[in-house]
Amino acid sequence: MVASRSTGGSSYLAMRRFHFWTGVVSALVVALLTITGILLGHSQELGLDKRFVTSSFLLDWYGVRAPERFNRFTSGAANLVDTGNMVLLNGRALEAVSDRVTGAVKTADMLVVSSDGQLGFFTDQGELIEKVQVHNVSRIGLNSKGLLVVEQAAGVRGYDLNAFAWADLDKDADLAGVIWSEPERIAADQAPEALRLSLQNRVSLERFLQELHSGRIFGPVGVWVVDLTAIVLLVQILSGLLLWNTLKNR
Amino acid sequence: MKSVSKAKIGLWLIFAFSFLPLACHAVVYLQEDAFVSNSLGQSPEDAKRIWLRGTLKDQVAEILGHPYPALRLKYWQDESRSLWILEEIGKERPITLGVLVGPAGVEQTKILVYRESRGGEVRFPSFLQQFESSQLTPDNELDRSIDGVSGATLSVRAVKRLVRMALFLHSQLGAATSNHGGK
């Protein structure tokens, strides 16, 4: 009798210690999950997807940094600035261009912007007309006949801007007198509006909270910690029930 | 003891290196030219164009929840099928999706370019096959439920919107087409 009571008592104490310490260890993560979970549950009402992180520490964590120099392309009335993470045309974001800009050419009725993965054709107001997938464009230019000349790693091609189709290129005739689009490297403070826009609205509060909630903000280990906490909570349900049952039967 | 110390150092190194900032990258799974050629046997130069304006523009905006960010779209067409290459933002970056639509609905979908840092599982056939033979209901919804992919909710929603858009545009061919360019 004495032996069974002491065995039951020591098991109870061990269970109680286990329950206590797992609770203590997981408390911070549980609190974080609770708060972020409640906020995310009301994300739309709170407009969290339309509100953005402004903390420079957090923006640094996400790799959002103020660039020191920009590439500027000028062609006719078009002034295009590539900040490295954003492209602006005459001060307005050109959202259809998400890769590094390699050239910008203004014709009578459109603006052609080349980037690493595409040729984009835009109206004067920056509306995208359409785009063509094309790779490794190092630069573009216009020849005297209005043919768009596209230089890629594999060679030079011609693009007919009237037919919106690739055109045969006579290297001797068509490449003579090509005016190539070249970037001008400028200090970021020479384009203050571009600098300001390139830093804002990059990480929404919703995204930040989602990644905090899942633990992803801390990388794979963060996810494992959240998963482990969830398992601990499940185990605590069992240990809590056992403790309650033991007390009830005493 | 030494092996225990080494193990501890190893664990700390793994712990330290796992705290990495999130990175985004574009992965091209299939070139547009290849998708057009493999799916329809046509070349990119055979593309036709359709202008997004008027009610067509409004209805596409209703399907996507926002205006499509281009004034016109390229598409390819044979006697009974049409092929669309469309883009939609998943979480923050655009997903490029190719959709082949035939008389019985969607025949093929392919993720051509994926630019998000997570959620790329939407490219797997196990997800995309769900769209085969799907059609639109009278209110421009898909005629079936599509199982999502854990951790890729926003990408899944983007793909669903694009498939609906492709089906809708296919149904509109003949009413608002404009043949421009190509051969």
Query: pLDDT tens, B105-120?
Result: 999 999 999 988 778 8
Q: Do B19 and A221 touch (CB under 8 A)?
A: yes
As given in the structure block, the two tokens for residue A139 are 């630069």
**Nearest in space to B76 (alpha carbons), one of B175, B173, B176:** B173
Q: Do A220 and B18 touch (CB under 8 A)?
A: yes
Buried-exposed string B95-133: b where 16+ CB fall within 10 A, e elsewhere: bbbbbbbeeebbbbbbbbbbbbeebbbbbeeebbebbee
- Give the Cα separation of B101 and B135 in Å (integer): 9
Contacts of B30 (CB under 8 A, 6+ apart): B98, B110, B111, B112
| Chain A residue with Cα closest to B46 | A165
- Give the Cα separation of B83 and A250 in Å (integer): 74
Q: Per residue in B82-141, pLDDT tens? A: 999 999 998 878 999 999 999 999 999 999 999 887 788 899 999 999 999 999 999 999
- Give the Cα separation of A58 and A73 in Å (integer): 31
pLDDT of residue A8: 56
Burial of A172 (0-12, 13-18, 19+ CB in 10 A): exposed
Average pLDDT over residues B44-67: 94
Q: Which residues of A touch B69 (CB under 8 A)?
A: 95-96, 128
Q: Which residues of B touch A40 (CB under 8 A)?
A: none
Give the angle A232-A236-A237 at the CA atoms, nearest 5°: 125
Nearest by CB to residue A117, choosing from B23, B26, B91, is B26
| Chain A residue with Cα closest to B49 | A130
Q: Closest Cα of chain B to A236: distance in Å?
A: 26
Beta strands in B78-156 (DSSP E): 82-89, 94-102, 105-114
Does the structure show a pLDDT above 50 at B161? yes
Q: Closest Cα of chain B to A169: distance in Å?
A: 16
**Nearest in space to A91 (alpha carbons), one of A103, A80, A107:** A80
Please give the biggest Cα pair distance in chain B.
79
- Give the Cα separation of B83 and B163 in Å (integer): 11
Cβ atoms of A198 and A171 within 8 Å: the answer is no
Q: Closest Cα of chain B to A24: distance in Å?
A: 22
Each residue's pLDDT, cut to its tens digit, for chain A (250 residues) gives: 444 444 457 888 888 998 999 999 899 999 999 999 999 999 888 888 878 887 878 877 877 776 788 999 999 889 999 988 789 999 888 888 888 999 999 998 899 999 988 999 999 889 999 999 888 899 999 998 899 999 998 899 999 999 898 998 887 878 888 999 999 999 888 888 887 777 776 788 888 999 899 998 888 999 999 999 999 999 999 999 989 988 887 7
Does the structure show a pLDDT above 60 at B41? yes
Contacts of B155 (CB under 8 A, 6+ apart): B90, B91, B95, B114, B116, B119, B120, B122, B149
Q: Do B18 and A219 touch (CB under 8 A)?
A: yes
- Give the Cα separation of A122 and A96 in Å (integer): 9
C-alpha distances out from residue B70 to A47, A90, A121, B49, B108, Å: 27, 19, 10, 12, 23
B150 touching A, CB under 8 A? no
pTM across the whole model: 0.70
Buried-exposed string A221-239: b where 16+ CB fall within 10 A, e elsewhere: bbbeebeebeebeeebeeb
Q: Closest Cα of chain A to B19: distance in Å?
A: 5
Q: Which residues of A touch B74 (CB under 8 A)?
A: 130
Q: Which residues of B touch A130 (CB under 8 A)?
A: 49, 70-74
- Give the best residue of A130, A136, A206 to mutate against chain B (max B CB count within 10 A): A130
- Give the Cα separation of A165 and B66 in Å (integer): 29
pLDDT of residue A6: 47
Q: Which residues of A touch B14 (CB under 8 A)?
A: 221
Give the angle B103-B45-A129 at the CA atoms, nearest 5°: 90
- Give the best residue of B12, B17, B22, B97 to mutate against chain A (max A CB count within 10 A): B22
As given in the structure block, the two tokens for residue A74 are 């000028």
Q: Closest Cα of chain A to B20: distance in Å?
A: 6
Residue located via tokens 């600098």 = A195
